[in-house]
Copies of this chain bind each other. A is one copy, B any other.
Amino acid sequence: MKKYFLLTPGPTPVPPEVLLEEAKPILHHRTTEFGKIFIEVIEDMKYVFQTKNDVLMVTGSGTAAMESAVVNLLSEGDEVIVVSTGNFGDRWEKICQAYKVKVHKISVEWGYAANPKDVENLLSSNKNIKAVFATHTETSTGVVNDIETIGKIVNKTNAVLVVDTISGLAGQKFLTDEWFVDVAVTGSQKGLMCAPGLSFVSVSEKAWKLVETSQLPKFYFDWKKMKKSIESKETPFTPAVSLVVAIHKSLEIIKQKTLQKIWADTEKLAIACREAVKSMGLKIFSDEPVTCNILTPILMPEGIDGQKVVKTMREDFGISIAGGQDKLKGKIVRIAHMGYIDKFDLVVAISGLEIVMNKLGYKIELGSGTKVLEQKLF
């Protein structure tokens, strides 16, 4: 008998009442019963995205929804800007390259946010840009980008703004319409408090116009087919019905709590977590003013391997936190605090981290981090 604690930035824990919805007997996907649930999910997602635009659903990981944006908006040889602040920004580039889309890349040193001015300069020097791809909260570095300012810039041009808010949505403030985000992409397994396997996109009028000119091949990811199906409360192909029924429940919880309260609570967790980490004598990886609220990236001290910290926490105590990705492997660990991850989960994680750091030979005063959490969170 082992207790598990999940504090990774996706998948995140799922509330028991949502898990139980997932365990309900399967509904056929072409029934009025399912159609009603599906349309309510689509409508609720408009609230979560804060948009009046169309929302579409893909049965697939967040990456599937990202790829759907590329193949529905673009044609081979099109020029785009990819604003990358980490591993997930780079993913936009890789998807574009797979489809022979020409990428003008704005790269920022990992741990820093993008400078909207760079986007403005590149857009004004190249009038052929069809789309700007960006990341809201960059999960690999813990940075939040200033999508609001980037949105204002892109909105003045003919390009569309496509934003990956897979880890950010329903955790960190995100206003699709007010920020002029033409396409926003998210997944079910982060702030939405559901199991992974569903992803969503919001599509503006401006984006739909680009869809009309797109020549890239697509079938499963075809947005026009999805939009047409929604008119009859259906999906083009058999969706993950049990996940749709489950997310219907978690969206109900989100609506009841309100996005404003979720954003505020997540921020409170983030601030407390950062202070706790500092009180333990550790450093936050990303530059403070740009650290996002949904996770805390912790820089490992010299001589401590982050991968070993993650492994020991999981093996000794069943606590899952995330290590660093790519060039940050071993150098940072990441503790998520979004969705169904709440105050005492954070107490458990910080407590486990204190014990494990000592075990691995880095002296931390036991209770120093948890003390700060107790002071700040309760």
A23 near B25 with CB under 8 A, answer no
A242 near B59 with CB under 8 A, answer no
A19 near B24 with CB under 8 A, answer yes
Bound state CA distance, A12 and B197, in angstroms?
Answer: 19
- Residues of B within 8 Å of A6, CB to CB, are 25-28
CB distance from A186 to the nearest CB of B (A): 13
B220 near A10 with CB under 8 A, answer no
Cβ-based interface call for A52 (8 A): no
A98 near B219 with CB under 8 A, answer yes
- Residues of B within 8 Å of A67, CB to CB, are 219-220
- Residues of B within 8 Å of A4, CB to CB, are 25, 27
CB distance from A306 to the nearest CB of B (A): 14
CB distance from A241 to the nearest CB of B (A): 6
A195 near B241 with CB under 8 A, answer yes
B26 near A23 with CB under 8 A, answer no
Which of chain A's residues 25-67 have a Cβ closer than 8 Å to chain B? Answer: 25-29, 31, 59-64, 67
Cβ-based interface call for A218 (8 A): yes
B28 near A11 with CB under 8 A, answer yes
List 11 interface pairs A-B (beta carbons < 8 Å), by A numbering: A8-B28, A13-B25, A22-B23, A26-B195, A61-B238, A189-B238, A195-B241, A216-B217, A217-B217, A240-B240, A242-B243
Task: Name the contact of A217 in the complex, choosing from B27, B63, B100, B242 (C-beta under 8 A).
Answer: B100
- Residues of B within 8 Å of A10, CB to CB, are 238
Q: Whose C-beta in chain B lies nearest to the C-beta of A216? A: B217
- Against B, the Cβ 8 Å flags (1 = close, 0 = not) of A355-372 are 000000000000000000
Bound state CA distance, A364 and B222, in angstroms?
Answer: 45
CB distance from A135 to the nearest CB of B (A): 16
Known A-B contacts A31-B314, A67-B219, A197-B197; A239 and B61 likewise in contact (beta carbons under 8 Å): yes
Bound state CA distance, A149 and B197, in angstroms?
Answer: 37
Report copies per complex.
2
Cβ-based interface call for A290 (8 A): no
- Against B, the Cβ 8 Å flags (1 = close, 0 = not) of A329-354 are 00000000000000000000000000
B31 near A11 with CB under 8 A, answer no
Cβ-based interface call for A14 (8 A): yes
Cβ-based interface call for A95 (8 A): yes
Cβ-based interface call for A324 (8 A): no
CB distance from A58 to the nearest CB of B (A): 8
> What are the 3 tightest A-B residue pairs by CB atom distance, in nearest-first order?
A197-B240, A23-B23, A195-B242
Cβ-based interface call for A327 (8 A): no
A60 near B26 with CB under 8 A, answer no
Cβ-based interface call for A187 (8 A): yes
Task: Name the contact of A242 in the complex, choosing from B22, B60, B99, B220 (C-beta under 8 A).
Answer: B22
B196 near A238 with CB under 8 A, answer yes
Q: Whose C-beta in chain B lies nearest to the C-beta of A235? A: B61
- Residues of B within 8 Å of A314, CB to CB, are 31
Cβ-based interface call for A320 (8 A): yes
Known contacts A6-B26, A60-B60, A196-B241; can you find 15 more A-B pairs with CB under 8 A? A13-B25, A14-B242, A59-B59, A60-B220, A61-B220, A61-B237, A61-B239, A63-B238, A64-B220, A67-B219, A94-B219, A187-B238, A196-B239, A240-B243, A243-B243
